[in-house]
Amino acid sequence: MAHDSFPQATRGYAGPGAVLRRLAAGPGRDQRITHMEHLPPRVARHAPWPGGIHPAVVAAVRTRGVERLWEHQARAAAAALEGRSVVVATGTASGKSLAYLLPVLSCLLDGAQAPNGRGATALYLAPTKALAADQRRSVADLAEDLKPGVRPAVYDGDTPVEEREWVRQHANYVLTNPDMLHRTVLPGHARWSSFLRALRYVVVDECHVYRGVFGSHVAQVLRRLRRVCARYGADPVFLLASATSAEPGVSASRLTGLEVMEVTEDGSPRGEVVFALWEPPLTELSGEHGAPVRRTAAAESAELLADLVRSRVRSVAFARSRRAAEVIAMVAQERLADVDPALPGRIAAYRGGYLPEERRALERALHSGRLLGLASTSALELGVDVSGLDAVLLAGYPGTRASLWQQAGRAGRAGQGALAVLVARDDPLDTYLVHHPEALFQQPVESTVLDPDNPYVLAPHLCAAAAEIPLTDGDTQIFGPSAAELLPQLERRGLLRRRDLTVQARPPAGEGDDEPSAVWYWTRRERAADLTDIRGAGGRPVQVVEEGTGRLLGTVDASAAHTAVHEGAVHLHRGRTYLVSTLDLADSVALVKEADPPYTTMARDTTSVSVLDTETEVPWGQARLCFGSVEVTNQVVSFLRRRVITGEVLGETRLDLPPRTLRTRAVWWTVTPGQLEEGGIHPEELPGAAHAAEHASIGMLPLFATCDRWDIGGVSVPLHPDTGLPTVFVYDGHPGGAGFAERAFGTAQAWLTATREAIASCECDFGCPSCIQSPKCGNGNEPLDKQGAVRLLDLLLSCAGDPGAVPAQRAGTGPVETQDVGA
């Protein structure tokens, strides 16, 4: 019994190696595995309970089977008890919650004996409502033994109005999200005064999610929270939990504005993990311009998920998009229906945009084992407790190594082995990765990129802060140096009103030498917090409503509405297919009708870029690499109908949607006509070469900046009016920029060298989705020139990183390694 069977195992689960062998057994399938990585088991390292944890908390935790702490839990808890802000960045299922709950619950219990009755309070922030609800369940379980000292409650958009007052006045562990903090708690801080006055700890769970523009917004929300707390005399300690990331302490400091200690040594045990890289086969079909087409990652993953479920291996397939999650569940169900009519009901899709009660029901079904397979977006990646999984499929690289490990880490229970399979999508990055496993397994995870000083992010938060408590010049300490520059601008724009303080009107000195000399007020009638949407969705989400019944199916971000729910678009929801009959932009409503078209739709758009300001320019020989501000004008002009599995194009329909402009930051590069002539690139080849280089470089950027290819855009122009030269732009797809283009500029040589490498090593002849074709090309992937792109990048890179050198290499040879520095 002891070593050859596992009492908890799903029937038939024989370990990750055996499961993989079974998956690979089908005809032609073994060739689809391009790499197998064995991650050895890790043994547990324990540590004694730190002093200062309340005995009742120790007892409650012990009752639930935790006799001893792992080292990282004890270290983090000890730091928190000493009043130090700390971030725990260890693997999935390493008990990070316990690391922060020990000090928090101890503090709440100690505080409960305080004479004023209210005692200490703590705030828990999750990036999603689902995660907060999940956390409440586990805290409520512990709190059963700690009554009445610990009183947890969720406070989010779903909390009934009649319960909210109770939460504010009586709960001492409030679970919410940054959106509620931004829109409700901070603007109404007076009603929260007793809670905020007693606030001792702020838990920021899954803090690696706060990256890019969203992360920068949350960083400012946390600064506003700290400022309001200071007003009530509270100075809470921040406890952060993160997936493994590079330099978590640095990121956590940027996020909170405080010094944060990091705990990264994982003391929890782990079973063996087998990680396979899987490349779907080429199909008989040819795609755009005759390019070979690989089977989609969704179709391949659906087949693997069906096989796993048939073997009763509990599995989740992570998809990159809501649509892909729906497609995987649907196709897997269809396959299983032929085998056993009972099986399709044991697979479902899970994604954001579902109504909360639908999501809860799916989580419960997965917990209980009623569901064996789930196709999910990253909504499930976030800490929702789905322990008990044996295998994880990743339908496409999730964009970062951090996310890859986070998703893979969902599999494997209680020291048992787990299987993870990355199924490559037909794009340059995924193809590069399944053939360069070292880029996944030998590289550290990324650091989290966020830029709280981004003026587009900071400005609305300064207004919101002024509405909460009028700003003084001393507040620039908390909001950073950019705040001082922005305040006069906000005043000129009529958003803030400034009043100079006479010496008599100043508050009494004694708080140091920075006496305020002016105060800024928010005096407008609208709510300052409504100036910005911290999710960067750019406006009211569009409601998707079923025509006839008026039933609300879900929502789509405003920024995605033109491409996702335009007239005629196919919209998937819970395995049902709908067609959009009207998109009403004024009312933010898309009306849909259930239908069964044999196709999906894909929007096409046109984009132009103008340079507003070149901030940095680096010469690479005659070529130039630049970074600065640009204005991007984009218009969705038509959509294509494509067959569901094959992607075959069935037709195109024009659309009449207004153009949208975006001010953002970009990296761009230029080459000169002289260089092109020397490199033998003819004028007629140039558009295709530049366009292909642009596509591939966008596809590769997620490897260098913590972004998604959908977070960035690009434009290539044979002769750009602002530069007067052939120019390729890559820009951040968010107002004001998100730090991605800046990161691209900083690593341009490595980034563009890998781009050149990815194109040159692709096995196709004239370009395919694995190298230069882009799934989001607004021009239908035309024109594209694969060989031209390689030569163009060689030209560009021949003097990269060495502004003084004379070009020693000519087109067609290797990139930069053999540079003649002495010339």
Minimum CB separation of residue 398 from Zn ion in Å reads: 22
783: preceding bond cis by omega (within 30 degrees) = yes
Rounded (10°) CA dihedral 217, 222, 225, 229: -160
Closest by alpha carbon to 406, among 423, 388, 426, 420? 420
Stretch of 409-417, 419-427, 512-520, 759-767 contacting Zn ion, by CB under 5 A = 759-767
Cα–Cα distance for residue pair 88/300, rounded to 1 Å: 36
Stretch of 120-128, 495-503, 664-672, 773-781 contacting Zn ion, by CB under 5 A = 773-781
| SS3 call for 219 | helix
User: Which of residues 501 and 764 has its CB atom nearest to Zn ion in the complex?
Assistant: 764
DSSP assignment of 390-403 equals -EEEEES--SSHHH
Helix 686-700 × helix 748-760 angle, to 10°: 110
Check binding of 771 to Zn ion (CB under 5 A).
yes
Burial (0-12, 13-18, 19+ Cβ within 10 Å), 660: middle
User: Which of residues 409 and 713 has its CB atom nearest to Zn ion in the complex?
Assistant: 713
Check binding of 662 to Zn ion (CB under 5 A).
no
- What count of other Cβ atoms lies within 10 Å of the Cβ of residue 55? 10
User: Which of residues 556 and 768 has its CB atom nearest to Zn ion in the complex?
Assistant: 768
Residue 240: φ, ψ to 5°: -115, 140
Minimum CB separation of residue 289 from Zn ion in Å reads: 12
Site string (778-817) toward Zn ion, x via CB under 5 A: -x--------------------------------------
User: Which of residues 337 and 760 has its CB atom nearest to Zn ion in the complex?
Assistant: 760
Q: Look at strands 660-670 and 623-643 and give their pairing.
A: antiparallel
Minimum CB separation of residue 735 from Zn ion in Å reads: 22
For residue 196, what are its two tokens? 């905020």
| SS3 call for 127 | coil
Cα–Cα distance for residue pair 32/418, rounded to 1 Å: 20
Element (H, E) at 153: strand 152-154
Residue count of the chain = 823
Stretch of 567-575, 743-751, 766-774, 815-823 contacting Zn ion, by CB under 5 A = 766-774
Closest by alpha carbon to 370, among 408, 351, 342, 350? 342
In the list 748, 762, 797, 805, the residue contacting Zn ion (rule: CB under 5 A) is 762
Check binding of 130 to Zn ion (CB under 5 A).
no
Minimum CB separation of residue 608 from Zn ion in Å reads: 13
Minimum CB separation of residue 652 from Zn ion in Å reads: 16
User: Which of residues 106 and 770 has its CB atom nearest to Zn ion in the complex?
Assistant: 770
User: Which of residues 267 and 769 has its CB atom nearest to Zn ion in the complex?
Assistant: 769
Do residues 118 and 105 lie in contact, with contact meaning Cβ atoms separated by under 8 Å? no
Cα–Cα distance for residue pair 242/466, rounded to 1 Å: 31
Minimum CB separation of residue 760 from Zn ion in Å reads: 10
Site string (716-755) toward Zn ion, x via CB under 5 A: ----------------------------------------
Burial (0-12, 13-18, 19+ Cβ within 10 Å), 2: exposed
Minimum CB separation of residue 759 from Zn ion in Å reads: 7
Minimum CB separation of residue 245 from Zn ion in Å reads: 32
Minimum CB separation of residue 634 from Zn ion in Å reads: 13
148: preceding bond cis by omega (within 30 degrees) = yes
User: Which of residues 182 and 709 has its CB atom nearest to Zn ion in the complex?
Assistant: 709
Stretch of 323-331, 570-578, 696-704, 768-776 contacting Zn ion, by CB under 5 A = 768-776
User: Which of residues 585 and 764 has its CB atom nearest to Zn ion in the complex?
Assistant: 764
DSSP assignment of 286-298 equals E-GGG-EEEPPHH
Minimum CB separation of residue 779 from Zn ion in Å reads: 5
Minimum CB separation of residue 34 from Zn ion in Å reads: 16
Minimum CB separation of residue 767 from Zn ion in Å reads: 5
Check binding of 424 to Zn ion (CB under 5 A).
no
Identity of residue 107: C
Output the CA–CA distances (angstroms, integers) from residue 763 to 31, 438, 767, in the order listed.
16, 20, 9
- In which region does residue 132 sit, left (phi positive, over 0), alpha (psi from -120 to 50) or beta (all else)? alpha
Output the CA–CA distances (angstroms, integers) from residue 123 to 182, 402, 430, in the order listed.
14, 26, 39
Helix 786-797 × helix 686-700 angle, to 10°: 70
Cα–Cα distance for residue pair 554/752, rounded to 1 Å: 40
In the list 228, 768, 789, 797, the residue contacting Zn ion (rule: CB under 5 A) is 768
Check binding of 764 to Zn ion (CB under 5 A).
yes
In the list 92, 253, 753, 770, the residue contacting Zn ion (rule: CB under 5 A) is 770
Stretch of 156-164, 210-218, 531-539, 774-782 contacting Zn ion, by CB under 5 A = 774-782
Find the binding residues for Zn ion in span 232-261 (CB under 5 A).
none
User: Which of residues 268 and 770 has its CB atom nearest to Zn ion in the complex?
Assistant: 770
Cα–Cα distance for residue pair 62/68, rounded to 1 Å: 8
User: Which of residues 126 and 698 has its CB atom nearest to Zn ion in the complex?
Assistant: 698
Check binding of 777 to Zn ion (CB under 5 A).
yes
Minimum CB separation of residue 631 from Zn ion in Å reads: 19
User: Which of residues 372 and 762 has its CB atom nearest to Zn ion in the complex?
Assistant: 762
Minimum CB separation of residue 773 from Zn ion in Å reads: 8
User: Which of residues 693 and 703 has its CB atom nearest to Zn ion in the complex?
Assistant: 693
Site string (64-103) toward Zn ion, x via CB under 5 A: ----------------------------------------
Element (H, E) at 487: helix 482-492
Alpha helices in 24-171 (DSSP H): 55-63, 71-81, 96-112, 129-143, 161-170
Do residues 360 and 368 lie in contact, with contact meaning Cβ atoms separated by under 8 Å? no
**Site size for Zn ion (CB under 5 A):** 7
Minimum CB separation of residue 732 from Zn ion in Å reads: 17
Cα 309-310-313 angle, rounded to 5 deg: 45
Stretch of 104-112, 529-537, 721-729, 763-771 contacting Zn ion, by CB under 5 A = 763-771
Check binding of 419 to Zn ion (CB under 5 A).
no
Minimum CB separation of residue 716 from Zn ion in Å reads: 8
Residues that bind Zn ion (CB under 5 A): 762, 764, 768, 770-771, 777, 779
